[in-house]
Amino acid sequence: MSTASGGTRSGLRAYFWEEAATDWHTRLQEGRPGFSEHITRKLRGLRDGISSEPGTVPAVRDAHRVRLTDATRESDRLPDFYIAEHAALTLFGRHQQAVADPAHRPTAGLGTACRDLRRAKAFSRSAVEQRLIAAATAQELHELVQHLYRLVPLLGQAGIGLDYTRLLYDFAAWESPGRDRVLRSWGLQYTEPPAVDDDTDAAPYWACFAPDRAENGAQLAALRSGTGREPGAVPAMWPHYRTRMPSELRGKGALTRDLIAEHAALSLFGRHQQGRSRTMHVPGNSPGTAARLLLAKSGSGEEALGRRFGALLTAIDAGELAMHLRGFVTLLSRAEIGLDYDRLRTALRTWDDPKRPNAQSRFRDRWDRDFRVDPKSKNS
């Protein structure tokens, strides 16, 4: 399971799970496989803390590396980082119980571990996703840990490890604004494509959408729930991302332009497709073409529609463009007029990209031309 023991923290004493991994590898090199007696004894003690309050189980207290001062001991609440370490320690004890080699695997985030569990085919893809998403939607740290108590034995059964140092810092950020970064890193790790080129799942969601599938309602609702949310922070959307990026950036939960654009396009498509019996992804239909078709179909005033369309053209950045598109696609949905979501994603990706200073003007000119020219006459 583990191929490395993990390092110390800039000269500080290693966390207990790092110490346990080092102990195991040292003994293996000496021809004495397994953990030493003092590590085994401490592991048994960690499991005693699963249903106990932090700081109340002596065996768990001894494994802590976050030390309490006299002031913190006398306060009404223990430090958040101490509480997070208690959760990581008890989970590690439960995880390690199911395996013989170290359960601590450096660099393996929770999303990576669940991805490996899915690929191991010990459980169905939906079963793994349900467990991961249930954990990711927990509101409080205690709820999150309860979900993980049921998940880590499955990882152990499949011989899959987890980076408990990383998990500790994820726990520490859970009830803070840093949660969105944690969620994004889990989702990007989980959806990372295989190392070997495999384009089976490479096509974007809208390109593969089939209107007659039973699961469409729940999937489109998941996409709409991403409106106004930070990309990667809505677990129900994770299975629908196709953005490719280096593993290092996925592990960090990087917020790239590609991911931001795909997230915006997915949430717009979820709104656009809602209740429609045919796909609203129509290759070749720019916002300008769609606005012209809407004008011809609805009979509404050209001046009013022109003002709404003009708001798209004058958007300063991609965020403002996405905001104006929300109302626009609602009108298009009612009239059952589609958009080319491949090109729309490209527009959202490059609209305010400083490396492509001419992209915004090119899109504006093209969309305005498509709106002013009758589609029927464009190819004449």
pLDDT: is 299 or 337 the higher one?
337
Q: What are the pLDDT digits (tens) for 205-221?
A: 999 999 999 999 999 99
Which of 67-71, 112-116, 247-251, 284-288 is least confident?
A: 67-71
Rounded CA-CA distance 266/103 in Å is 36
Q: Give the residue among 98, 97, 216, 191 at the shortest CA–CA distance from 136.
A: 191
Which of 8-12, 38-42, 108-112, 339-343 is least confident?
A: 8-12
Dihedral of the alpha carbons of 330, 336, 342, 348, in degrees to the nearest 10? -20
117: its two tokens = 């569990």
Q: Specify the CATH number of the domain 16-176.
A: 1.10.520.40
Q: What are the pLDDT digits (tens) for 308-324?
A: 899 999 999 999 999 99
Same topology between domain 16-176 and domain 282-377: yes
Q: Is the pLDDT of residue 375 over 80?
A: no
Domain residue spans of the chain: 16-176, 190-195+205-277, 282-377
pLDDT: is 321 or 73 the higher one?
321
Percent of the chain scored above 90 by pLDDT? 76
Q: Is the dihedral of CA 26, 32, 35, 36 positive or negative?
A: negative
Which of 2-6, 76-80, 159-163, 261-265 is least confident?
A: 2-6
Rounded CA-CA distance 198/210 in Å is 22
- Among 101-115, 118-132, 300-314, the range with the most confident prediction by mean pLDDT is 101-115
Q: Is the pLDDT of residue 107 over 50?
A: yes
Second CATH level (architecture) for the domain 282-377: Orthogonal Bundle (1.10)
Residue matched to tokens 């726990």: 171
Tell me the CA distances in angstroms from 12 to 16, 23, 25, 66, 114, one per residue in order: 12, 17, 20, 11, 30
Cβ(19)–Cβ(39) below 8 Å: yes
